[in-house]
Amino acid sequence: MKHYRKELWFEIPTRRAFINITPDVDICLKESGIKNGLLLCNAMHITASVFINDDESGLHRDYETWLERLAPHEPVSQYHHNTYEDNADAHMKRQIMGREVVVAVTDGKLDFGTWERIFYGEFDGRRKKRVLVKIIGE
Ligand code: ZN
């Protein structure tokens, strides 16, 4: 069995953003040479997510509104976590949007449904963060 590991680095200039990382993950898959197996992709930070959904800007604005309703950033004093930090909302947003995705690899391709794409969700940006890509298979 072959195995492959790579860290993708991001430094998002805003506090929050959704980035389509499917092209980066595709490059990893090509580099790995693996044709059939499983691909794991996870955020290595507890205030960022990796998830699969539609690459549609209206949906991403809807996510932003929905997440702000569930876990508003302000007032930061409403959270016990915010003693020396102000990112309690980012931890909660990450929890809802998830840590990782697993994608089947079939015939050298990400075995997606029609509209599935992989996103990096940043909830406390403006610093360097990592995403892990691990691929195992033949
Ligand atoms: Zn924190």
Local confidence band at 78 (pLDDT 50, 70, 90 cut-offs):
very high
Neighbour tally for 101: CB within 10 Å: 18
Q: What percentage of the chain reaches a pLDDT higher than 90?
A: 100
CA 89 to ligand 1 center in whole angstroms: 9
In this predicted model, what pLDDT tens digit does every residue of 14-27 receive, in sequence order? 999 999 999 999 99
CATH code for the domain defined by 2-137 = 2.60.120.460
CA 25, CA 89: separation in Å to the nearest integer? Answer: 28
Q: What average pLDDT score do residues 103-126 get?
A: 98
CA 23 to ligand 1 center in whole angstroms: 30
pLDDT at residue number 65: 98
pLDDT at residue number 32: 98
Sign of CA dihedral 85, 89, 90, 95: positive
CA 78 to ligand 1 center in whole angstroms: 14
CA 124 to ligand 1 center in whole angstroms: 9
Burial (CB < 10 A; 0-12, 13-18, 19+), residue 49, is buried
In this predicted model, what pLDDT tens digit does every residue of 25-54 receive, in sequence order? 999 999 999 999 999 999 999 999 999 999
pTM of the model: 0.96
With vertex at residue 12, the alpha carbon angle to CA 45 and CA 88, rounded to the nearest 5 degrees, is 45
CA 46 to ligand 1 center in whole angstroms: 8
Nearest to 131 by CA among 11, 7, 19: 7
Domain ranges of the chain: 2-137
φ, ψ of residue 25 to 5 degrees: the values are -70, -35
CA 81 to ligand 1 center in whole angstroms: 7
C-beta of residue 55 within 8 angstroms of C-beta of residue 18? no
